[in-house]
Amino acid sequence: MGRLLLCMRMLLGFALAIGDPALATQDASLPAPAILDPDVPPTVVQTGPALDARVTIPISIDGKGPWNFIIDTGSQRTVIARDLAQELALSPRANVTIISMTGRSEAGTVAVPRLGFGGGTIEDIEAPVLEGEHLGAPGLLGLDSLHAKRLTLDFRTGRMEISGSNPRRRLSADPDAIVVEARRKRGQLILLDSEVNGMRVNIMLDTGTNFSIGNIALRDKLMAKKRAPAMMTAALTSVTGGTLTGQVGRIKSVRMGRVNLIDVPVLFADASPFAELGMQDKPALLLGISALKIFDRVAIDFGRGKVDFLLPDGSALDKTRFAANDEVKG
């Protein structure tokens, strides 16, 4: 069996209460989410460049900055890099237990007095501190900053929009748009009516990781049904610096509602967050940003529990088949 080293900094920042690269197992209260009036025009910003395929947004801290944080829908908590926390002399808070893809570890937190992005501001965040070299950015903007909001990632224009989740919002009238319903679990949205190679599976969108990650239950079920792809061994580094070894293969079909992605690279691994979410024995898949970027636009409405996929130009005649453009590089 071949061996592949995935060098593109896989965030794998999905832990505990919904896979955040830094989620305390203690009952630490999360900061109140920034309140956005659904009737107020949304904030639109130009997304910044990242060292990889992940999407970043300019972030200010207590009026200073900006720094480009990675938008991470797989992280429950907003996270800050150690060197930035030291540069800003942020006050230390309590240590927390982190559950990353590679297991449990301890990390300190710091007090972030005021975090601003677009037109929104969040006060008094306790942000876990991790090494910037493992994050691949000065920080992560997690679900605690996106709660009850609608996040729109326009990959065609390179723009991102954050608006209030409006229950009166009409479904997209765009003929190329597909809306998929989702259920909530610990802040995360799990897509309904989803399949991998014709088998039911729990699919979550993780903008904080380049690659898509499948659990061992999914791999084993594919093998039992003789629907598993050819695989090779791979190793990658998590946000805490640990190494996770798994098997990489290309999934023939990943269906979400009426859209079907084909030939999607997936790393199958015994990653800790699946167990923390109660999915260790249930087939589950974290769909990474490289797979999402084949769409022109993805809008994740955390308040309404819906995800809106806008198909690429020219695909209106065939809304059910795409070829994933992610490549496994050796």
Q: Which CATH number fits domain 54-145: 3.30.70.100, 2.40.70.10, 2.102.10.10, 1.20.960.40?
A: 2.40.70.10
Q: Can you give the residue ranges of every domain in the chain?
A: 54-145, 174-310
Helix, strand, coil percentages, rounded to 5, for the chain = 10, 45, 45
174-310 is classed CATH 2.40.70.10: yes
On the question of a common fold for 54-145 and 174-310, the answer reads: yes
Token reading at 24:
């305390």
Rg, C-alpha atoms of the chain: 19
Helix (H) or strand (E) holding 154: strand 149-154
- What is the C-alpha separation between 113 and 91, in angstroms, rounded? 9
78-99 confidence digits (pLDDT tens): 999 999 999 999 999 999 887 7
CA dist list (Å): 248 to 88, 139, 257, 275: 40, 27, 25, 20
**Can you give the pLDDT at residue 21?**
35
- What is the C-alpha separation between 188 and 215, in angstroms, rounded? 17
Q: Which residues contact 34 (CB under 8 A, 6 or more apart)?
A: 120, 121, 122, 145, 149
105-148 confidence digits (pLDDT tens): 889 999 999 999 877 788 999 999 999 988 889 999 988 888 88
As a whole number of Å, the end-to-end CA separation of the chain is 14
257-288 confidence digits (pLDDT tens): 998 999 999 999 988 878 888 888 999 999 99
Amino acid at 17: A
Q: pTM score > 0.85 for this model?
A: no
How many other C-beta atoms can be found within 10 angstroms of the C-beta atom of residue 143? 27
- What is the C-alpha separation between 131 and 151, in angstroms, rounded? 26
Sequence length of the chain is 330
